[in-house]
Amino acid sequence: MPYMTTGKENSGNIDLYYEDHGSGQPVVLIHGYPLSGASWEKQIGALLAAGHRVITYDRRGFGRSSQPTIGYNYDTFAEDLRKLVTQLELRDLVLIGFSMGGGEVARYLGKYGSNGVSKAVFISAVPPFLLKTPDNPEGVDGSVFEGMQKSIAKDRYAFFGEFFKNFYNTDLLLGKRVSDQTVQASWNVAAGASATACLASVPTWHEDFRKDLTRVDVPTLVIQGDADRIVPIGASGLRTAKLVKGARLLVVKDGPHCITWTHADEVNSELVNFLR
């Protein structure tokens, strides 16, 4: 599948790998950390079967995309997405972001507006504002993010080993809703990501998207598990659903962070119905 050039670092191009399948209303799926567009495999088939054109891409630094040492901020991530949308001449598109990918959805709509976008979906997503501050007491203490950065810098492979336990809530769901092999496959993708990207992405998770969300004026769906250990639902999904006027909220009972895998049937049913 093709690549799209979004910029340069010194003598090398910064290329994003993307896949473009099917026909019908276009749906752009934006993956979470530290995975790639391939992490949407349980949604791609369902959306294609429902008559959609499905586009996935790998964020810079991850998957099969280039691994530059620059551009790890949401203005640049949103600009990369904008270039993809423009190059593919997408109209009436749906933006769906999982986890970190929800930041692209929020910043894209906040920066470029909703012209050409018909709907938005946030799944286990980082908006509106994860960092605890005086005016954001529901957020997560900054020491949590600092600790993650220290662990990644020390030994990112060991960090990912622990990270995916909470990504899938393996203590409760291993052998039931997720297999050892799936967890290992996720670790493999993470291990192949850029070391720079793995570290530089962490501070972006507590970007303040509150102003961006005030500009969201398209039908919006928010989905999150109530047992999410990576992005606490009280600091994220519940608040996003309140900040976006008319947003529809689905709380997945006992759902971990990666409900797109562990609770795929429930997520897919809700997505297809919402897009219909």
- Which position among 36, 65, 66, 99 bears the catalytic label? 99
Closest CA to 141 of 133, 153, 149: 133
Q: Give catalytic status of residue 257 as yes or no.
A: yes
Burial class (CB in 10 A: 0-12, 13-18, 19+), 248: middle
- Which position among 15, 80, 212, 228 bears the catalytic label? 228
- Which position among 52, 206, 257, 263 bears the catalytic label? 257
Q: Give catalytic status of residue 52 as yes or no.
A: no
Supply the residues annotated as catalytic.
99, 228, 257
